[in-house]
Structure 1
Amino acid sequence: MVYRDYQGIKLSGLGFGAMRLPVIGGNDGNIDEAAAMAMVDKAMAEGINYYDTAFGYHDGNSEIVMGKALAKYPRDKFYIATKFPGYDLSNMPKVKEIFEKQLEKTGMEYFDFYLFHNVCEMNIEQYLDPKYGIYDYLMEQKKNGRIRHLGFSCHGEYDTLKRFLDAYGKDMEFCQIQLNYLDWKFQDAKAKVDLLNDWNIPVWVMEPLRGGKLAKLDDQSAGELKALRPDEEITAWAFRFLQSVKGVTMVLSGMSSMEQLEANLATYKEDKPLNEKEMETLMKVVDRMMAKKSIPCTACHYCVSHCPQGLDIPYFISLYNEHLLTTQDGGMGFIAPMAIAAIPDDKRPSACLHCHSCEQVCPQTIKISDMMTDFVEKIG
């Protein structure tokens, strides 16, 4: 197992994500406890020492099962992380109640790592609002030793990430973002990594395989990668990419089977970062993936200047592209709906008048009105 130095401790380079544990009968809330515990036993035996859960994973049962699975091991042999569920705005006034419940559910006396969960456009105002006392309470728990390391996860845009850092960055010890070789370009994750490196905040990675999308590539792409590394599995390229990114300390993988766990363990027996040619080839693969489902907006903003509603059309197109790419193979797209929910009703895609004024000035001749209609239908 590859290990990373973090504040005087050794963290396994691969972390065990508990969002996609094996379940029974396809019911996300019904975790197959025997299978999950066998996976944790295997992970512990092979050197994984970081376990990531959250209040809402598996309908609230992930924390319970992970607590049971880790209870048999000495407390100083593993690090457990969980999160305050700010993705649900009704939780904002309940930070103390929820934190105490999480300790109870996991059976822990303290959390090694604790996060503000899913900082994004939908909840940034509430997270920064002192009336909820979230920051103050979590800092108090850190002072009392019930949180050893405090950080946050972020699915928001660059500007939202920056706002949170400007407010609380001096006290944040790590940041968890969606990072993989597709989103390096597609969501401009590179800019977020650069910002975190500027703050000297270690990067925690979620969705290294983008929900499994990067586990299987088209024949052309797979062939190009195999030509460079004949013995490397396609899945492993996602992790080798992350081993090449400055600042990445922890890579979380949500594994649903022993087979997935064993494959990831094999990859993390060593560091094998990409060389310049390999990185260049991988980015060409990304370009092809993006071209398949993307509307070719260049964000020139001519459309915005001619929209009688003043809608941020380039932003909507970027969210639309994200939603299409995420859901094309049956995935659950949540980023776009959350982002739209943070926008006033009269500035959402549903406010489009279909007057076609934007289309008359679009250099890319995008059928914006059709896109708006489809977007509204897709996200509800």
Structure 2
Amino acid sequence: MQYKEFKSSAKLSMLGMGAMRLPVIGEDQGNIDYGKAKAIIDRAYQGGVNYYDTAYIYHNGKSEEFLGKALAEYPRESYYVADKFNLQAEPDFKKQFPEQLSRLNMEYIDFYLIHGIQDAWMDQFLESGALRYFDELKKQGKIKNLGFSFHASPASLRKLLKIYPWDFVQIQLNYLDWYYGNAKELYEILEEAEIPAMIMEPVRGGKLASLTPEAEAIFKEADPEASIASWALRFVMSRPQAQVVLSGMSNLEQVEDNLHTFSETAFLTEEEEALVKKATDEFRSKVGVGCTACHYCTPNCPVGIDIPKVLSLYNDVKLVNEEWRATFADAMPEGKRPEDCVECGACTGHCPQSLDVPAIMKEMAEIRKKFQKEQ
């Protein structure tokens, strides 16, 4: 495992374990399969991973409890836990933080973040008094390092960096967002400010682990043995300001592949960087929408539609240009399919990717209707 020194006080594994996509029993995201999930944590720990990331809302609030229990058998000083304050889930920060400590069964949190800052509510957070409260907790030692995860504009990032001496910042960075989003600009702002960057979505919620055949062929020709996901991770690893690269590993195969990738400093060569750009251009020409399956939208849907599942089906339809794949939504419960969307827009305000979900639902419904008429 490769490690990086963090502010001369800790050595963090470059690979971090994200506890957002743990295996579950059935369809309930809160029903974590403890045996399978614990095996993932154990293998990651044995492989040298010492950074574990959770949040108040992950797995319907059960991720923190699971992670605290799963790590309890290991010495507390041997690992670092990152947790997040979610303003929208529980605005009362004086209530939420103690609850998180209780769920984790821990006395302090190593890396504490304001969760998923967006332009729409950043000022609400700044005016809430939460930052003063968290700063006081840091002085008390209950928070060791204070930062935020970010899904907003570069202008908002610059504003936030002037307000408080943050210890770290977590941004979404992958080669797709680097070349076709604002990840490069956000990264360079942190680089200029000399603030360590924790990286989320390096494989874009799994989208960069399985590309179009044409894009995958570019990577396979260069290295037939390397997984497609490893290229995405190595791309992020090669950014000098990247401190920890988080991966929401959901099975042991992913853990083993990632441990192998981070077993050595496999920075991309200039030629490999060019290959990544070529594959990105090829993939982007066919990709549909950039949903990362974070599920922030689903609790707010009055109809109860599994929005990430629909968006995944939408991408399948778009990527391979086969409208019949839209019929896979028939397996979804009646009343909870794309055509059942009421276009209320409750989902869009919670989407880190700012996707126009109602419009996509409408298009998907039209594709389904058109295909059904043709049968």
- Fold conserved between structures, TM > 0.5: yes
Q: Is the 8 A contact 1:152 1:176 kept in 2?
A: yes
Q: CA deviation at 1:163?
A: 2.3
Letter in 1 for 2:49: I
Q: Say if 1:325 and 1:244 are closer, same or farther in 2 by CA, change over 3 A.
A: farther
Given candidates 242, 263, 266, the residue that maps to 1:272 is 266
Gaps of 5+ in 1: 296-322, 344-348, 350-371
Q: Secondary structure at the match of 1:80?
A: strand
Using the alignment, how far apart are the partners of 1:373 and 1:102 within structure 2? 33
Q: Distance in 2 between matches of 1:81 and 1:247?
A: 19
Once the two structures are superposed, residues 107-144 of structure 1 have per-residue CA deviations (whole angstroms, 9 ceiling, x without a partner) of: 00000110011011222111121xx2110000000000
Q: 1:195 aligns to what?
A: 189
| Alpha-carbon distance between aligned partners in 1 of 2:156 and 2:363, rounded to the nearest angstrom | 25
1:97 aligns with 2:95: yes
- Deviation for aligned residue 1:96: 1.0
Pairing of 1:146-157 with structure 2 (within 5 A): 146-157=142-153
In structure 2, give the amino acid aligned to 1:231. Answer: E
Task: Count residues with an aligned counterpart.
Answer: 315
Provide the identity percentage: 42
Which residue of structure 1 lines up, in the alignment, with residue 15 of structure 2? 14
Is 1:69 the equivalent of 2:70? yes
2:139 to 143, 148, 159: 143
Q: Which amino acid aligns with 2:42?
A: D
Change (3 A) 1:17 1:340: closer
Displacement of 1:325 in angstroms is: 8.9
CA distance 1:2–1:125, change in 2 (3 Å): same
Q: Which amino acid aligns with 1:6?
A: F
Secondary structure at 1:272's aligned position in 2? coil
Q: Could you say which residue in structure 1 is the equivalent of 2:4?
A: 4
In the other structure, the counterpart of 1:252 is: 246
Q: Which residue of 2 aligns with 1:232?
A: 226
The Cα shift of 1:167 comes to: 2.2
Deviation of residue 336 (structure 1)?
8.5
Instruction: Report the CA distance between 1:339 and its aligned residue.
Output: 7.5
Task: Give 1:151 deviation, angstroms.
Answer: 0.7
In the alignment, the residues of structure 1 paired with residue 346 and residue 282 of structure 2 have an alpha-carbon distance, to the nearest angstrom, of 22
Structure 2 Cα separation of the partners of residues 67 and 234 of structure 1? 32
SS in 2 for 1:102: helix
Kept in 1: contact 2:40–2:250 (CA 8 A): no
Q: 1:282 aligned to 2:276?
A: yes
Supply the distance in 2 between the matched residues of 1:137 and 1:180 (Cα, whole angstroms).
33
**What SS does the corresponding residue of 1:220 show, helix, strand or coil?**
helix
> Which of 108, 111, 135 is the matching residue for 1:110?
108
Looking at structure 2, the residues matched to 11 and 286 of structure 1 have their Cα atoms a distance apart, in angstroms, of 29
Secondary structure of the structure 2 residue equivalent to 1:42? helix
Counterpart contact for 2:86–2:114, Cα < 8 Å:
yes
CA contact (8 A) 1:128 1:164 kept: no
Give the Cα separation in 2 of the matches to 1:208 and 1:326.
21
The Cα of 1:219 is off from its aligned counterpart by 2.3
Q: CA deviation at 1:85?
A: 0.6
- Aligned to 1:215, the other structure's residue is in SS state coil
Amino acid of the structure 1 residue aligned with 2:260: A
76-85 vs 157-166, greater mean Cα deviation: 157-166
Are the aligned partners of 2:215 and 2:283 in contact in 1 as well (CA < 8 Å)? no
SS at match of 2:184: helix
Query: Contact 2:288/2:315 (CA < 8 Å) preserved in 1?
Result: no
Residue in 2 aligned with 1:49?
Answer: 50
2:117 aligns with 119
Q: Paired residue for 1:59? A: 60
- On the 8 A contact 1:179/1:205 being kept in 2, the answer is yes
Match of 1:159 in 2: 155
Where structure 2 has 5 or more consecutive residues not aligned to the other structure, the ranges are 290-309, 318-344, 365-375
Q: Which amino acid aligns with 2:176?
A: L
In structure 2, how many angstroms separate the alpha carbons of the residues matched to 1:340 and 1:258?
29
Deviation at 1:327, TM superposition (A): 5.7
Per the normalisation by structure 1, the TM-score is 0.77
Superposed CA deviations along residues 335-376 of structure 1, whole A, max 9, x for unmatched, are 9812899x9xxxxx9xxxxxxxxxxxxxxxxxxxxxx99469
Contact 2:234-2:268 within 8 A present in 1 as well: yes
- Which protein is bigger by CA-based radius of gyration? 1
Cα distance 1:244–1:51, how it changes in 2: closer, same or farther (>3 A)?
Answer: same
Q: 1:115 to 1:161 in 2, by over 3 A?
A: same
Tell me the residue number matched to 2:300: none
AA matched with 1:259: E
| Alpha-carbon displacement from aligned partner over 1:255-290 (angstroms, at most 9, x marks no partner) | 111111111111111111111121112112212222
Secondary structure of 2:31's aligned partner:
coil
Counterparts of 2:59 and 2:100, CA distance in 1: 14
Distance 1:326 1:280, change over 3 A: farther
DSSP 3-state at the match of 1:23: coil
Task: Determine the structure 1 residue equivalent to 2:330.
Answer: none
Do 1:121 and 1:338's aligned partners in 2 also have CA atoms closer than 8 Å? no
